[in-house]
Amino acid sequence: MSSDSPRILLVEDDPSLGLILHDLLRLEGYTVDLIRDGREALPAYHAAEVDLAVLDVMLPGRDGFALTEDLRMVSPTLPILILTARDRVEDRVRGLKAGADDYVIKPFDNEELLLRIGSLLKRAQPRDEGQANTLCVGSFTLDRESYMLSWPEGEQRLTRKEGDVLKLLMQREGRTTERDLIGRLVWGESGYFIGRSMDVYIARLRKILKADPSVRLETLHGVGFRLDGPDRAGSPQSQTSPK
């Protein structure tokens, strides 16, 4: 966790409640990113170092259950609290199965909500600040904030889109990252034209990554992409033709 104030991603489509929660959390000392559309939540998470997510269930674009599953794919340890007016047992079970750490029913007591958030943050494993700001694969190091990619023989500042795509691939090193997931995380949606644009960025990144032959960025046709470092590039699962 950052040594500065913890950053909370708050996804709540009710304008009044969203502002109330935003101010409540700010007064408690948290940095808060308030998002009102489920389709905008993942790009907002991907653009910042989020320490905890508070998700409403009933959201336009993409509901809280689906968002929880998406966040779990890219961050297995991120504390997630679901906030909802639905009090059915099956809904609570569904939220927990999706990967939520806690579930609070509306209406709720502000003090209880703050205590639950504080408890989740305390249980979260602290992040080393240096490691939190960089990602590494092979001889490459990517600065999450400046999008500067460096390696022993050089460095290059990536565009925001290039950096966001590479961050996601590096976070999921050794695993297939589906095209649809990249579209939602980096562009906020998915579709034919975004897919074509994605291929352009992948081609640019592959050209840069050739500086380290032990790093492979592979295309799994019709599925997505996979980034393998030197410890994985020779594995049987990685024998897919790069494109």
Query: pLDDT tens across 121-149, in order?
Result: 988 855 444 446 788 999 999 998 889 99
Q: What is the pLDDT of residue 171?
A: 84
The C-alpha atoms of residue 10 and residue 31 are separated, in whole angstroms, by 10
30 and 49 share one domain: yes
Contacts of 172 (CB under 8 A, 6+ apart): 73, 74, 227
Q: What is the pLDDT of residue 72?
A: 86
DSSP state of 237: G
Q: What is the pLDDT of residue 193?
A: 64
Domain end point (choices 97, 123, 149): 123
Q: What is the pLDDT of residue 106?
A: 87
119 and 134 share one domain: no
Domain end point (choices 92, 123, 154): 123
Instruction: Kindly report the pTM of this predicted structure.
Output: 0.64
51 and 79 share one domain: yes
141 and 40 share one domain: no
174 and 134 share one domain: yes
Long-range contacts of 166-170 (CB under 8 A, 24+ apart): 166/142, 166/205, 167/46, 167/135, 167/142, 168/46, 168/74, 169/205, 169/217, 169/225, 169/226, 169/227, 170/135, 170/136, 170/137, 170/142, 170/227
Q: Is residue 1 part of a domain?
A: no
149 in Cβ contact with 135 (< 8 Å): no
Q: What is the pLDDT of residue 190?
A: 60
Q: What CATH number does residue 22 fall under?
A: 3.40.50.2300
136 and 75 share one domain: no
- Stretch 179-191: mean pLDDT, rounded? 76
Q: What is the pLDDT of residue 237?
A: 44
pLDDT(238) > 60 = no
pLDDT(103) > 60 = yes
The larger pLDDT score, comparing residue 120 to residue 231, is at: 120
107 and 141 share one domain: no
Range of the domain at 225: 130-238
The highest-confidence range among 68-77, 79-88, 209-218, by mean pLDDT, is 209-218
Query: pLDDT tens across 21-67, in order?
Result: 999 999 999 999 999 999 889 888 887 889 999 999 999 989 999 99
